Amino acid sequence: DGIISYLKKNYGDDLEKSGVLKLTDPGIKSSYPMARLFMYDKNNINEEYDNQSSGYAVQSDGWFEIDFKDKKINLTSYTLRSSARGPNDYSHPKSWQIVGSNDRNKWDVLNHQTNNSSLNGRYYQNRFTCENSPNYYRYIKFIQEDSWYKFTYNIRLTCIELFGYIQSS
């Protein structure tokens, strides 16, 4: 179990409603909310998050952020799971960054993937290791830089789990 699973066990399935997390994305034309990224049970694991469900997302739209509010995390690794879309359909992530911040002004790169094909297929899942960092962060952001299809900044994932340590303020 990772950080999100741990928080759900302690605060319930809806971490936003319980005030534990705040989920933010560009909020553009999507009918597939970010909360789907944390639905790991067998009935919902294939539910997709999509940052732009109609059309092309532009570079400034290719991200989502998790605010841990009164907690900070030291991220050691994370797991991503692709959507149901086929390998030549839409936007399985190809290049991306995971960054951390405590003030939303200065962002530290925790992991950077370039031309990574491990998520280029239906429901592909992989775990990625972050750089060793002693820092704890309130904000964790996923930034998509490229995809395996023409919708470069359209993010379509079914799950994200974070691994590491939690620090409460």
* DSSP state for residue 164 in the 8-state scheme: E
Question: What phi and psi values does residue 154 have, to the nearest 5 degrees?
Answer: -80, 120
Strand order of the β-sheet with 63-67 is 22-24, 63-67, 139-147, 93-101, 108-113
Q: Which tokens belong to 91? A: 């936007």
Distance of alpha carbon 88 from alpha carbon 99, whole angstroms: 28
Using 50, 70 and 90 to split pLDDT, how confident is the model at 169? confident
Average pLDDT over residues 154-167: 94
Q: What's residue 113's pLDDT? A: 97
The contacts of residue 10 (CB under 8 Å, 6+ apart) are none
Position 85 pLDDT exceeds 90: no
Position 148 pLDDT exceeds 80: yes
Distance of alpha carbon 140 from alpha carbon 163, whole angstroms: 12
Q: What's residue 50's pLDDT? A: 84
pLDDT in tens, 106-130: 999 999 999 999 999 889 999 999 9
By the 10 Å C-beta count (0-12 exposed, 13-18 middle, 19+ buried), 134 is classed as exposed
Task: Give how far the C-alpha of residue 65 lies from the chain's centroid of Cα atoms, to the nearest Å.
Answer: 7
Position 56 pLDDT exceeds 90: no
Average pLDDT over residues 141-164: 90
